[in-house]
Amino acid sequence: MTSPTHTEALLLSAHAGDVDSLARLLEVYRPDIRRYAQQRCFISDVDDAVQEALLVLARHLRSVRKLTSFSSWLFKVVQRECRRLGRSVLRQDPYEEAAVDAWMATHTPESLKLDMASALESLPPHYLQVLLLRDFEELSIREIGERLGLDSPAVKSRLHRARVMVREYLLA
């Protein structure tokens, strides 16, 4: 783990334009950004939110005026990206409590479980396998690829398609 003073030094160097410090800073903050995104995003959007937050960090770090508020700025970027991705998937703001309450009111916990089971059963086997390994066994993309003999892009593609199919099934 990187000490706070080392992280502050990286932040100052990266802010001043040092490319190596920026690369290291991205490595240091990636796990924190991922944990935060897992709490704020739909599971299918976590990787996209993390990637976008890291891109925003790389592009706009030099424009941050107060480095003391860097962490809160970065986590706001992640939160904003999670909301954007959620809105694009559901065509509504998933964090708008009234809309979520209205959607949930039409489903009992039992019906949600049955709908999810039906959605999973409707998937082609190669999509179901990747989805179960990622979302239920919580394997990384690399681990799934190794287990199934696939490269990372193939795993990501199958996972994305599986999630889209489940979403369409549930929201139809």
Supply the pLDDT for residue 89. Answer: 60
* Whole-number Cα distances in Å, 103 to 42, 87, 97, 109: 16, 14, 10, 12
Identify the residue whose tokens are 């003391």: 68
Tell me if domain 4-90 and domain 107-171 are identical in fold.
Answer: no
Closest CA to 24 of 63, 54, 65: 54
Residues 107-128: tens digit of each pLDDT: 787 887 888 888 889 889 999 9
Averaged over 147-161, what is the pLDDT?
91
Domain 107-171 is found in CATH 1.10.10.10: yes
CATH class of the domain at 4-90: mainly alpha
Radius of gyration (C-alpha) of the chain in whole angstroms: 19
Domain ranges of the chain: 4-90, 107-171
Structure tokens at 101: 């309450």
Residues 45-58: tens digit of each pLDDT: 888 888 888 888 88
Supply the pLDDT for residue 3. Answer: 56
Supply the mean pLDDT for the chain: 80
